[in-house]
Amino acid sequence: MNDRFRVCFVCTGNICRSPMAESVFRAHVAEAGLDGLVEVDSAGTGGWHEGDGADPRTVSVLRAHGYESDHAARQFRADWFARLDLVIALDEGHQRELRRLAPTPADAAKVRLLRSYDPAAVDLDVPDPYYGGTDGFDECLELVEAASPGLLSAVRDALTERGAA
């Protein structure tokens, strides 16, 4: 089907949080049998790491929990909004920046915080683990995993509205 539901996760450099969220959510989508209907992607608000793989600590934590990680960093572009259904920001700074980039109010409305899909979340930011130790990457994974079922439910609802699922 060409009319896939497209989700893009966005953090700062696209080497820690967003590739982790991409890998985890892709696994949830596949487990739900929706991989033919949902396309999962990630990018960064900045282009400092374009072409680089994910941070080795991200890869290590993902592999330790059974997730795949095949990634090349890239920078989010405003013209991507036209083909995306949801743009998932990993913290409020990313959300503000993405909404500023959005060409239209409808595009700005596509930008959501990942943790807004976790009913237990109090703070909606996923902290940047880059400058800390491995424990920050473990925490990042926990936060991403906690929000993924709620996001999957929202995507499933959107697919049902389209008549695709």
Whether 100 is a known active-site residue: answer: no
- Is 128 marked active-site? yes
Q: Which of 8, 11, 16, 140 is catalytic?
A: 11
**Catalytic site residue from 17, 57, 115, 156:** 17
Are 151 and 88 a contacting pair, CB within 8 Å?
A: yes
* pLDDT at res. 1: 41
Q: Among residues 35, 52, 85, 128, which one is catalytic?
A: 128
Handedness of CA 55, 56, 62, 67 (dihedral sign): positive
What is 6-59 written as a DSSP string? Answer: EEEEEESSSSSHHHHHHHHHHHHHHHTT-TTTEEEEEEESS-TTTT----HHHH
The one-letter amino acid at 149: P
Rounded Cα distance, 26 and 32, in Å: 10
79 is an active site residue: no
3.40.630.10, 3.40.50.2300, 3.40.50.970, 3.30.360.10: CATH of 5-162: 3.40.50.2300
What is the tens place of the pLDDT at every residue in 14-56? 999 999 999 999 999 999 999 999 999 999 999 999 999 999 9
Q: Per-residue pLDDT for 133 more than 60?
A: yes
pLDDT of 86 strictly over 50: yes
Q: Which of 114, 5, 22, 113 is nearest to 62 (CA)?
A: 22
The CA distance from 143 to 151, in Å, is: 12
